Structure 1
Amino acid sequence: MPSLQPCPCGGKNFDACCGRFISGAEVPRTAEELMRSRYTAYVQRNEPYLQATWHSSTRPTEPVIDQNDKLQWLGLEVKSALRLRQRKAESAPDEDFVEFVARYRIDGRGHRLHEISRFKKEAKDGIARWFYVDGTFPDQ
């Protein structure tokens, strides 16, 4: 029976939103779907999914999640910005950018991560898949 719990990325239903990607039942069709599912994987502390969706050219060799940290993810906002639409028009169809703000708390103190993530689409196992490459931080 499907779960009716909300998705951490903001979707109404986890199974119909990011759950289908994290379980491997489906592959994200867009860079935004991949970004949302990666945020959900961070909330769940799902290291294998994060590593599998990270582009091989930039994938860290060390774990990206410390299971002992006191980090709590609070919410995700996907931004729509003119500069991204312009950048998208100039980029190749196998590259995309997603701007987002993720809020989190560490030891009771609130923070925000504002990132413009870059994604590449490549064939893997005969299927076109999106991979996270890297990001820039406009607030810095």
Structure 2
Amino acid sequence: MAKRGGRRGAAGGAERACPCGTGRPYGECCGPLHRGEADAPTAEALMRSRFSAFAVGDAGYLLRSWHESTRPARLDLDPARRWTRLEIVDTARGGLFDGTGTVEFRAHYREGGRPGTQTERSRFVRADGRWVYLDAEQR
């Protein structure tokens, strides 16, 4: 979902609907995770927060929520790609008492005025008690 790079800015206000698609305000949904005030309780919640980070341009959060063994040194987000909607297709494990989990999703975007979709199956693990992104298989 990214190149290597920077941050585009805030989500446009804490009261705007969260990009992850829960319908909750950003300030009550993914905002606290992005600000480091809370950790994602499940692999799916982490996936949603990472999609939101792509949508708002928060490369720092993406790097912080990436497992150290697979994390790149830097991440440049593509400002021409605007992430618009997330669909969770399937989840396996990744609950409150699991140590691993997978989330398959479709991430919708617009680039150059054209719609696009990225489908991926992401793997998550617990590291030091919190969920982190490990790697993904493109679909």
Which category describes the TM-score, using the shorter chain as reference length? 0.7 to 0.9
Cα RMSD (Å): 2.0
Kindly indicate whether residue 75 of structure 2 is the aligned counterpart of residue 63 of structure 1: yes
Q: How many residues align?
A: 124
Identity score, percent: 36
Task: Give the 4+ runs in structure 1 shifted more than 3 A.
Answer: none
CA contact (8 A) 2:14 2:31 kept: no
The CA deviation string for residues 24-51 of structure 1, in whole angstroms up to 9 with x for no partner, is 1111110111110000000111111000
1:113 aligns with one of 114, 118, 133: 118
Structure ranking higher in helix proportion: 1
What is the alpha-carbon distance in structure 1 between the residues aligned to residue 101 and residue 125 of structure 2? 7
Task: Tell me the equivalent position of 1:10.
Answer: 21
Which structure has the higher relative contact order (CA within 8 Å, separation 6+)? 2
Which whole-Å CA distance do the structure 2 matches of 1:35 and 1:58 have between them?
Answer: 16
Structure 2, gaps ≥5 residues long: 1-12
Q: Given the two structures, how large is their TM-score scaled by the length of structure 1?
A: 0.81
Higher CA-based Rg: 1
Residue ranges of structure 1 left out of the alignment (5+ in a row): none
